[in-house]
């Protein structure tokens, strides 16, 4: 339904192009930002802007109407301050309940699987290794306790737009796991998948969102650095016996949504 009101909590690298995409599709879109300079940018894109800095004092004056929505998309990353991130999630939950928002999309991460081995689908147990991944798992659990329709999207490594993958490892020496397959997602596909979830009413699902091809770290980061005229990284020989290389399986998403990735090969990024 194109008259749906969609609120996007976090209009950053993914949230901003997503807001623009949904607005162009005819939805009423509200977008939150923590940066006052971004308010006019959102307004120029016909996105209703909200300056929301969630802290112990709440969400600020006149911001509650942001949560008057049919769909809430949470794209806030855990970043460095894990406690603040979890407070943001808890605050969002309180307003989801208050405004009885029916449909929620949460952009999680494939990092929740940890260093498992082999082909990894959505049924794999969660074994987060990093503190940030642990926080994402907690966010998933908190949101799953809601009675609203929740779809969790576990995104692969993010690239595209102004996030140039060539910078990630440029010039580094003796980088480990050069033969490990990469699990990447282009910004364009991230945006279009979320759009497909909403337009197709794919609720109460968990999907891995990742390009279908998985070149090695060596090949991908070397090629990306060269594309940007940066010094390619050098890779240490892989240690024998190491096999904890996971390959993210996106087949459930492609089948359910009948979705074709525009950037199925990360070498195209």
Where are the chain's structural domains? 5-164+183-215
CA angle 75, 77, 211 (to 5 degrees): 70
Compute the distance between CA of residue 59 and CA of residue 115 in angstroms, rounded to an integer. 37
Name, in order, each residue with C-beta under 8 angstroms of 111's C-beta and a sequence gap of 6 or more. 128, 129, 130, 132, 133, 136
Q: Pick from 1, 51, 55: which is nearest to 28 by CA?
A: 1
Q: In terms of CATH, what superfamily is 5-164+183-215?
A: NAD(P)-binding Rossmann-like Domain (3.40.50.720)
- Whole-model pTM: value is 0.96
Euclidean distance between CA atoms 142 and 144, whole angstroms:
5
Per-residue pLDDT in tens (0 to 9) along the chain, 269 residues: 567 999 999 999 999 999 999 999 999 999 999 999 999 999 999 999 999 999 888 898 889 999 999 999 999 999 788 999 999 999 999 999 999 999 999 999 999 999 889 999 999 999 999 999 999 999 999 999 999 999 999 999 999 999 999 999 999 999 999 999 999 999 999 999 999 999 999 999 999 999 999 999 999 999 999 999 999 999 998 765 556 789 999 999 999 999 999 999 999 99
The total of other beta-carbon atoms located within 10 Å of residue 116's CB is 15
Q: Residue 94 has what DSSP assignment? A: H
Using an 8 Å Cβ cutoff, are 50 and 32 in contact? yes
Helices (H), 127-262: 131-144, 166-169, 187-200, 217-227, 251-257
Q: How far is CA 269 from the centre of its chain?
A: 17
Tokens of 171: 């010039």
């Amino acid at each position: 339904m194109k008259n749906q009101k969609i609120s996007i909590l976090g209009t950053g690298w993914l949230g901003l192009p997503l807001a623009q995409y949904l607005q162009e599709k005819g939805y009423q879109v509200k977008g939150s930002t923590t940066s006052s300079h971004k308010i006019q940018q959102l307004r120029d894109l016909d996105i209703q802007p909200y300056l929301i800095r969630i802290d112990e004092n709440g969400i600020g004056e006149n911001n509650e109407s942001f949560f008057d929505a049919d769909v809430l998309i949470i794209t806030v990353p855990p970043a460095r301050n894990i406690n603040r991130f979890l407070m943001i999630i808890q605050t969002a939950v309180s307003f989801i309940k208050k405004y009885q928002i029916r449909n929620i999309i949460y952009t999680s991460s494939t990092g929740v699987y940890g260093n498992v081995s082999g082909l990894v689908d959505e049924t794999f147990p969660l074994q987060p290794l990093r503190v940030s991944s642990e926080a994402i798992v907690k966010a998933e659990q908190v949101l799953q306790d809601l009675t609203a329709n929740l779809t969790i999207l576990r995104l692969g490594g993010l690239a595209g737009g102004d996030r140039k993958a060539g910078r990630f490892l440029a010039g580094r020496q003796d980088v480990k796991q050069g033969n490990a397959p990469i699990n990447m997602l282009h910004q364009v596909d991230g945006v279009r998948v979320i759009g497909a979830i909403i337009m197709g009413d794919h609720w109460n699902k968990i999907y891995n969102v990742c390009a279908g091809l998985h070149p090695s770290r060596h090949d991908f980061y070397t090629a990306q650095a060269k594309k940007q005229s940066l010094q390619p990284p050098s890779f240490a020989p892989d240690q024998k016996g190491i096999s904890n290389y996971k390959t993210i399986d996106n087949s459930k998403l492609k089948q359910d949504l009948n979705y074709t990735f525009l950037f199925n090969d990360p070498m195209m990024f």
